[in-house]
Amino acid sequence: GAVVSQHPSWVICKSGTSVKIECRSLDFQATTMFWYRQFPKQSLMLMATSNEGSKATYEQGVEKDKFLINHASLTLSTLTVTSAHPEDSSFYICSARLDRGHDTQYFGPGTRLTVL
Amino acid sequence: QKEVEQDPGPLSVPEGAIVSLNCTYSNSAFQYFMWYRQYSRKGPELLMYTYSSGNKEDGRFTAQVDKSSKYISLFIRDSQPSDSATYLCAMSVGPPGTYKYIFGTGTRLKVLA
């Protein structure tokens, strides 16, 4: 149980275009999902907390108009990177929090974004 | 000073060795302590979580928390080449229901056959 999927697993796009990444909890409901970014050989940095039915909470330094988050259902959150630039190239990982017990986060497999 | 410190490695050990991975932290408000394993270009996989000081064992893995020293460890017994990965410690902070995680930088482990 507690499986999280992401789509796509990798994407290459031109500078200036927008890219949408989906995060789904497959076998459980998640009121809260998280979006992280990971640069090579670095740790996961939390970008934002996504709450079903309400606005996302962004971490300091993350542009909310550039990284649009929508959490329309208890099993789906989306991250849209708008007007992507090469410096946005990174590994984007989502997680979903199990809404019971110890609050553990389960992670998706990640999406590798390359902006040319 | 980072809230969570973790030696990035790489740590190379022979197959069958006992591996010790460690993190230190500075924020006494951290509540849950997790260890994740991450293979290259994959998402992190939860290995262990603990709440209180002491040891927790699961198969070949033992998680240890010492809140007085602000120090956590993960021990891997009888290490296998398939254990080669990056191991991330994570700590949760925040009011109940709104926890967020702070991650260490991860330690790259190589188990040599």
Closest to B61 in 3D by CA, of B109, B101, B26, B24:
B109
Percent of chain A with pLDDT over 70: 95
Please state, in angstroms and rounded to a whole number, the distance separating the CA atoms of residues B98 and B110.
Answer: 35
CB contact under 8 A, A110 and B104: no
Cβ-based contacts of A104 with chain B (< 8 Å): 32, 34, 46, 49
Q: Looking at residue B44, what is its pLDDT? A: 93
Interfacial B residues in 12-31 facing A (CB < 8 Å): none
The per-residue pLDDT for range A51-63, each reduced to its tens digit, is 888 889 999 999 9
pLDDT > 70? residue A100: no
Average pLDDT on A14-29 reads: 94
Measured between CA atoms, the residue of chain B closest to residue A32 is B98
Q: Which residue of A has its CA nearest to B101?
A: A46
Chain A hits for B39, Cβ within 8 Å: none
Instruction: Please say if the pLDDT value at position A103 is more than 80.
Output: no
Kindly determine whether residue B88 and residue A44, on different chains, have CB atoms separated by under 8 Å.
yes
CA distances from A1 to A27, A106, B64, B97 (A): 6, 10, 25, 21
pLDDT at A102 over 90: no
B44: helix, strand or coil:
coil
Task: Kindly give the parts of chain B with pLDDT less than 70.
Answer: 1, 96-97
